[in-house]
């Protein structure tokens, strides 16, 4: 377990400066297309961590802007541009900012030595309340890639103002274990938070979660599967605690696995090699019982917590309809469901301050008790839909 104190603005600048100077000919180098294509060994239009040279991997999470476990060509270009802009800038001197975060990393939550079954805990140096509500992030990557380290960037905005603690959860990927191992891990991590609430002065009654893509799927099923024994698991030392959550932010996660191939997508979701089939341990339509069990929509009931779903209309990897039918099912059951449609949006990368604002309001309402309105409806995407191949 590592304890790190970070000065936020300084770490952002130093990361970009280091990238631009020391890694000019490696990660996001001088010739973006040439470097990107050379590293993209399978030609699928995206990079996973293992495709990067060893010296460039430390920058993976910073380039993976939406934390879905992949770097697209657009993210490559954006990160290189920011690196160039930051190169040569004077870094903020230590102690000159008002916000600092303490990070305890690689905390084992399941009682094992598996590095995937660990979490990172982010705590503000200056708290606004004695007991902090917790915002949890779960990474994407098609259940086969991604890393909890990407959660630091996602959680910083909530933790730095002193109102929340943050937790980024790692979980076993499909090269190691099939469903329901992934949700067993996530639920064990939530129980760990409650079991250690006294130690870290956390508000165990106010835990919100959000995630992107495969992480969106996992947070959605955290929300809909409360009280379902076979999805609870028996991991960790805190089995007496609940794994229920207070609210859920689902960013373009799959919700009904058996329905995915009925809608436009670049992926044959029913194929044996699809991310979903790898998750359930066989071709979806031949593993229907497990696929239904792994679908958040299967478990919807009237006592589910409030859910905010965000999905792009032009998502070619997880069809837009996945969030449409989940929102419909939640509303039919009498649940509090808010749905944001990103017009023209692809698989993430929305770059929308409005979406950020609404997510912040969602957590403020349900974790802090603020009397704020949560708006659904349509927002515009400021980016073009992605053109890469299969990834979630």
pLDDT digits (tens, 9 = 90+) for 63-98: 887 677 778 877 777 777 666 555 444 343 332 223
Residue 92 lies inside a defined structural domain of this protein: no
Domain harbouring 311, CATH code: 3.40.50.1820
Both 254 and 361 in one domain: the answer is yes
Q: Over 90: is that where the pLDDT of 32 sits?
A: no
Residue 293 lies inside a defined structural domain of this protein: yes
Per-residue pLDDT at 298: 98
Both 104 and 240 in one domain: the answer is yes
Per-residue pLDDT at 351: 83
Whether 329 contacts 300, CB under 8 Å: yes
Which of these three, 59, 86, 113, is where a domain ends?
86
Residue 114 lies inside a defined structural domain of this protein: yes
**Which of 77, 70, 125, 75 shows the shortest CA–CA distance to 97?**
125
In angstroms, the Cα distances linking 212 to 177, 262, 283, 349, 392 are 20, 22, 23, 11, 9
Both 32 and 118 in one domain: the answer is no
- Domain range for 23: 2-86
Both 52 and 180 in one domain: the answer is no
Whether 358 contacts 375, CB under 8 Å: yes
Both 230 and 330 in one domain: the answer is yes
Strands 307-312 and 247-251: parallel
Whether 293 contacts 287, CB under 8 Å: no
Residue 391 lies inside a defined structural domain of this protein: no
The sheet with strand 307-312 has its strands ordered as 2-7, 100-108, 118-124, 165-169, 132-138, 202-212, 247-251, 307-312, 337-343, 377-380
Domain harbouring 55, CATH code: 1.10.238
Q: Is 58 helix (H, G, I), strand (E, B) or coil?
A: helix
Both 266 and 356 in one domain: the answer is yes
Residue 146 lies inside a defined structural domain of this protein: yes
Q: Over 90: is that where the pLDDT of 364 sits?
A: yes
Choose the most confident range, by mean pLDDT, from 13-22, 171-180, 377-386. Answer: 171-180
Which of these three, 62, 86, 110, is where a domain ends?
86
Residue 332 lies inside a defined structural domain of this protein: yes
- Nearest 5°: phi and psi at 361? -65, -35
Residue 390 lies inside a defined structural domain of this protein: no
Residue 386 lies inside a defined structural domain of this protein: no
Provide the domain count of the chain. 2
Percent of the chain with pLDDT over 90: 69
State how far the Cα of 359 lies from the Cα of 378, in Å rounded to an integer: 14
User: pTM for the complete prediction?
Assistant: 0.78
Per-residue pLDDT at 93: 33
In angstroms, the Cα distances linking 176 to 70, 116, 180, 188 are 19, 10, 12, 17
Which of these three, 86, 118, 150, is where a domain ends?
86
Ranking 36-40, 335-339, 341-345 by mean pLDDT, the lowest is 36-40
Both 69 and 134 in one domain: the answer is no
Q: Over 70: is that where the pLDDT of 43 sits?
A: yes
Angle at the Cα of 14 (from 13 to 18), degrees rounded to 5? Answer: 120
Both 188 and 46 in one domain: the answer is no
Higher pLDDT, 287 or 36: 287
Both 265 and 328 in one domain: the answer is yes
Both 78 and 138 in one domain: the answer is no
Both 349 and 263 in one domain: the answer is yes
Both 296 and 219 in one domain: the answer is yes
């Amino acid at each position: 377990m590592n304890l790190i104190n970070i000065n936020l603005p300084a770490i952002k600048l130093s990361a970009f400066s280091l990238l631009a100077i020391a890694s000019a000919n490696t990660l996001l180098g001088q010739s973006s297309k040439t470097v990107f294509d050379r590293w993209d060994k399978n030609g699928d239009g995206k990079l996973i961590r293992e495709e990067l040279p060893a010296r460039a991997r430390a920058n993976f999470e910073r380039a993976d802007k939406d934390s879905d476990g992949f770097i697209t060509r657009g993210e490559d270009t954006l990160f290189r541009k920011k690196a160039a802009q930051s190169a040569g800038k004077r870094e903020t001197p230590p102690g000159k900012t008002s916000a600092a975060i303490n990070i305890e990393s690689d905390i084992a939550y399941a009682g094992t030595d598996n590095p995937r079954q660990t979490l990172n805990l982010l705590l503000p140096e200056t708290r606004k309340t004695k007991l902090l509500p917790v915002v949890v992030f779960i990474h994407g990557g098609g259940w086969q890639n991604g890393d909890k380290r990407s959660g630091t960037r996602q959680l910083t905005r909530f933790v730095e103002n002193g109102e929340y603690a943050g937790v980024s959860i790692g979980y076993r990927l499909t090269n190691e274990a099939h469903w329901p191992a992934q949700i067993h891990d996530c639920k064990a991590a939530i129980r760990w938070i409650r079991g250690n609430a006294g130690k870290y002065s956390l508000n165990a009654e106010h835990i919100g979660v959000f995630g992107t893509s495969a992480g969106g799927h996992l947070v959605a099923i955290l929300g809909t599967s409360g009280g379902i024994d076979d999805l609870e698991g028996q991991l960790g030392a805190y089995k007496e605690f609940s794994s229920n959550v207070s609210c859920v932010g689902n960013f373009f996660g799959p919700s009904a696995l058996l329905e995915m191939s009925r809608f436009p997508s670049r992926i044959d979701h029913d194929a044996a090699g699809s991310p979903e089939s790898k998750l359930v341990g066989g071709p979806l339509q031949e593993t229907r019982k497990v696929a239904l069990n792994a679908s958040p929509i299967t478990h919807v009931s009237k006592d589910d917590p409030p859910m905010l779903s965000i999905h792009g209309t032009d998502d070619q990897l997880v069809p837009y309809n996945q969030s449409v039918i989940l929102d419909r099912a939640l509303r039919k059951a009498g649940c509090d469901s808010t749905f944001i449609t990103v017009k023209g949006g692809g698989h993430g990368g929305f770059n929308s301050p409005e979406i950020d604002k609404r997510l912040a309001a969602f957590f403020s309402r349900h974790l802090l008790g603020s009397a704020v309105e949560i708006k659904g409806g349509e927002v515009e995407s400021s980016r073009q839909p992605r053109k890469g191949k299969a990834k979630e």
